[in-house]
Amino acid sequence: MKKIRQKINIIDEQIVGLLNRRLKEVIKIGELKKKKNEYFYVPYREKEILERLIKNNKGPISSKALKDIFQEIFNLSRSLQKKLKVAYLGPEATFTHLAAVKNFGRLAELIPVKSIKDVFNEVERKRADYGVVPIENSTEGVVNHTLDMFIDSDLKICAELMLEISHNLLAKNDDLRKIKTICSHCQPIAQCRNWLEENMPNVKLVEVSSTACAAQLAHKRADTAAIASQQAASLYNLKIIARNIGDKADNFTRFLVVGGKDSPPSGKNKTSVMFSVKDRVGALHDMLIPFQKNGINLTKIESRPSGKKVWDYIFFVDFKGHIKDDKVQKTLKLLEKQSFFVKVLGSYPEGGQRG
């Protein structure tokens, strides 16, 4: 055992040495980015590195563990080039906060704001370099408020990430009989509906702006519980009185990183667009034909009222491919001929399906 530990000590020292060598090169890249006025956050490059390392990984380290380790290395590397300012739906310990930490690390300046609209405003007014917002949940579907923000905003989607969501019931005391009110954001309440109806049928449900706000209320009121993250329990000094109360075991939320411009092609890309169709029979069907004609795989389609005219809708579409791909260009040209307008929301590296 002593000999093996000595070998481990030597390897650890080599790891530290290699990390410092890597970071010195990263600082050089940062200086070049500054001279060329390029963005310091380059998600396609990070994805390219991860895919290469995972492909060549022989184990015993798992692909997920390797990804987590290198994500921390990326976060550290980025912070040495520039301390990024990132706005998110706060306060601290919301799931959006956890997504921002996962993607940018704790060395970034994370800015909590009160609403999704405020996230967009912070980035648009250049008080933040990027914003992180939820876009859809695997149980409850799309976050409409985020979609609506893209109608008037010029911000671009530059990355996406998936976060596994685990809902917990938090309170100051652990006696369920004393809980009169349960509060949370509307999405977690909906995602825990079955558990709540079965275990807390007579308790009042109150929607608040975020899971962290719910935890704050539970901290102040002995008869109030919150549906929130495990991190919220630690931060707001609450007890976890019921774990994993979500209706589905596999519960993931997709988050978007928004910024000034989208990402260059990375091999596996996704593009999001919005368009408005002319009010006629078969209009939406005709709008989808260009995608089929050019062999483009649609991954999502949603509709939202435009807010400008009754029964006037805007459609949001995600598809595989990059805006610079020839077949995507051909598709969008055909789309523009048949619609009132087409707006590209961004091209970005395709995110993984697991956190």
Domains and CATH numbers, the chain: 1-80 (1.20.59.10), 83-164+256-261 (3.40.190.10), 168-250 (3.40.190.10), 263-349 (3.30.70.260)
pLDDT band at 353 (very low <50, low <70, confident <90, very high): very low
Task: Find where tokens 């791909």 sit.
Answer: 325
* pLDDT for res 256: 96
pLDDT tens for 187-233 read 899 999 999 999 999 999 999 988 999 999 999 999 999 999 999 99
pLDDT band at 307 (very low <50, low <70, confident <90, very high): low
* Best CA proximity match to 294, nearest among 267, 329, 341: 329
Residue 137 CA to residue 115 CA, distance in Å, equals: 18
pLDDT tens for 179-198 read 999 999 888 999 999 999 99
Say yes or no to pLDDT of 113 above 60. yes
Neighbouring residues of 193: CB distance < 8 A, sequence distance ≥ 6: 247
* pLDDT for res 279: 66
pLDDT tens for 248-269 read 878 899 999 999 887 888 778 9
Say yes or no to pLDDT of 118 above 80. yes
Say yes or no to pLDDT of 320 above 90. yes
pLDDT band at 352 (very low <50, low <70, confident <90, very high): low
* pLDDT for res 306: 66
* pLDDT for res 309: 62
Say yes or no to pLDDT of 354 above 70. no
Averaged over 294-317, what is the pLDDT?
A: 80
pLDDT tens for 70-98 read 999 999 999 999 999 999 988 889 999 99
Averaged over 5-25, what is the pLDDT?
A: 96
* pLDDT for res 161: 92
Of the listed ranges 49-53, 104-108, 140-144, the least confidently predicted one is 140-144
Task: Beginning with the edge strand found earlier in the chain, give each strand of the sheet holding 224-228 in spatial order.
Answer: 204-207, 181-184, 224-228, 168-171, 239-242
* pLDDT for res 78: 92
